[in-house]
Amino acid sequence: MGWMGKILRVNLSDGSIKEEPLNRQEAIDYVGGRGLGTRILLKEVNPKCDPLSEDNKLIFLTGPLTGTGAPTGSRYMVITKSPLTGALTCSNSGGQFPTMLKRAGFDGIIFEGKAQNPVYLWICDGKAQLRDAGHLWGKDTHETDNLLRNETKKEAKTAVIGPAGENKVLFASIMNDKDRAAGRSGVGAVMGSKNLKGVVVYGTSRPPIHDPTGFKAVIKDVMSVFKEATRDNPPPLRIYGTPITSTGTQNVGAYPTRNFQQGTFEHWQDIGGEVLTEKYLVKAKACFGCPIACGRVTRVENGPFKGEGEGPEYETIYALGSNCGINNLEAIIKANYICNEMGMDTITMGATIACAMEMFERGIIDEKIVGRSLKFGDAEALVELVQKTALREGFGDQLASGSLRLASNYGHPELAMVSKGQEFAGYEPRAEKGMGLAYATSPIGASHMRGDPAYIEILGVPMLVDPLSWEDKPQIVKDWQDVFAIIDSAGLCVFFSVRFLVSKTKDIRPVKILELLNCATGANYTMESLMTTAERIINAERVFLVKAGFSAKDDTLPSRMLKEPMPTGPAKGHVCELDKMLPIYYKLRNWDENGIPKPELLERLRLK
């Protein structure tokens, strides 16, 4: 119950498609989504394989709450080995596609092998077939979505790659519903390497619910709390979207600026959520079953950056804006549109250009290499290079490998603001110490979505702690990572889910998520067993990393974060005390000094 009970396995090499029953015990042990996908990857993929080879697998998985009517229950995860980092990744997306995948009859899809020629997968009410996609190759994500729905069913939903995925840009994304992105770590490049252009789904089934009456009661309870809290004051996420986050990061000095050289941006108000809403917002947009509607449909009416689409999010505004020293919001919006249409992660794209800008200003690269001037604040250069990266034209071919490879090629890897090879999100570790530890220990490389301490360090959810303290952060980061593992695996969005965490001092527990899961699945989780499940997911990811060759040496941050005090702002004089936090974190995790899970832990979690 909650689960549809079937997984679709698609062998792209020989064209075979078969249904497999979902292993219910594994589903209970790993919930779904991120957790179950990690379990499958660990069983079926050699952690040392080439991510862009036929040996890697691409796994789409929903959670048991996806498509059930649970508030914000419309998320799915794409799990694979990342070509950007060499680690595993599980890239998360919402919209309408995840719910429609469940309604088409499946909890997920496992893609293996490589098609000889471009293909797409069409699933309609439990029946699946591979179709030729040669006529779609080279087209952007919006064109592809339109054409696929014309060929199949207008009401169908798609997840596709654009030219960036076809060209194996190492941070290419998979775009569903045109503008929603499974964005990080290069999942789109893996899809492109398999000659898989898209997935189209349509279905009319409803996920079965173990206890429909209890499930509706929990939803009613959760929604009543939300409605009461927002009756007179609509939430900032609904009014301004995620770009409102820039107010919080700027206020604490954690707003990354000019390739993380500082934590405040003098033009931050020019590119914030208020301006985006006032000048460019067409309407708010919600994912399936979401009461918040944080998505932004925007339009630039005139000028060189004219266009219409969805976004940008806060992370995009930081990466393409403040981190590149750019305060031209129209250029940021245009660059975001290009990323969506080409299918690229805006975070890594912006951070890689920011790295290149610092290298240019330091004289490490020049106009002969770049093909033009490339200084902080150059809006035209930003838009031009985003397009060239997707097509691997000129200097864009070097940008397509991400900032670490770019900087390393010129002898300066320290200028890449990454962990495990993946670029930071929009939070400065010297001003937000918990985020620094979260970046360093994230299984997919730097990510704010593997446990987001910004909620407790900046937003005060469910309580506020000092972002500049480090002593309390190992426990906080561990707890947030565990809770996010459950949220991701259940098929929920963190924006709604974190509103219903219960906190005793700094210990957080997902009480309402527990109730929803039990009503939907009948798994009879206790809070203790659910948090043990979270540990199992975290440690399964860690086992994959260890087998892939990662250890404590990779749980680190650039020297700028560790040795160079913040030059300005509220965090002036601070560094990130990772060396003090990491040993405590390892002890809490029951990992040894090399970051390897101890045998007795693996035994307890049935991972040995």
Assess if residue 231 is contained within a domain. Answer: no
pLDDT score at 459? 86
Asked whether the predicted pLDDT for residue 506 surpasses 90, the reply is no
- Band of pLDDT at residue 225, cut at 50, 70 and 90: confident
Whether 373 and 483 map to the same domain: the answer is no
Among 365, 392, 416, which residue terminates a domain?
416
Q: Is the peptide bond before 462 cis (omega within 30 degrees of 0)?
A: yes
Backbone angles phi, psi at 21, to 5 degrees: -70, 140
- Tens of pLDDT along 433-451? 999 999 999 999 999 999 8
- Tens of pLDDT along 516-549? 999 999 999 999 999 999 999 999 999 999 999 9
- Tens of pLDDT along 76-129? 999 999 999 999 999 999 999 999 999 999 999 999 999 999 999 999 999 999
pLDDT score at 157? 98
Assess if residue 423 is contained within a domain. Answer: no
Whether 409 and 433 map to the same domain: the answer is no
pLDDT score at 504? 55
Token pair for 511: 């009480």
Q: What mean pLDDT is predicted for residues 351-371?
A: 98
Structural domain of 406: 236-416
Query: What is the DSSP code (8-state) at residue 597?
Result: B
Neighbours of 562 (CB within 10 A): 17
Assign 3-class secondary structure to 468-518.
CCCCCHHHHHHHHHHHHHHHHHHCCCHHHHHHHCEEECCEEECHHHHHHHH
Percent of the chain with pLDDT strictly greater than 90: 91
Asked whether the predicted pLDDT for residue 292 surpasses 90, the reply is no
What is the domain count for the chain? Answer: 3
- Tens of pLDDT along 124-174? 999 999 999 999 999 999 999 999 999 999 999 999 999 999 999 999 999
Among 368, 388, 416, which residue terminates a domain?
416
Q: What mean pLDDT is predicted for residues 554-582?
A: 98
State the CATH number of the domain containing residue 583.
1.10.599.10
pLDDT score at 233? 73
Among 392, 416, 440, which residue terminates a domain?
416
- Tens of pLDDT along 339-357? 999 999 999 999 999 999 9
Whether 461 and 351 map to the same domain: the answer is no
pLDDT score at 93? 97
Assess if residue 424 is contained within a domain. Answer: no
Whether 352 and 476 map to the same domain: the answer is no
pLDDT score at 234? 76
Backbone angles phi, psi at 57, to 5 degrees: -120, 155
Q: What mean pLDDT is predicted for residues 195-207?
A: 97
Taking all residues of the chain, what is their mean pLDDT, rounded to a whole number?
Answer: 96
Percent of the chain with pLDDT strictly greater than 70: 98
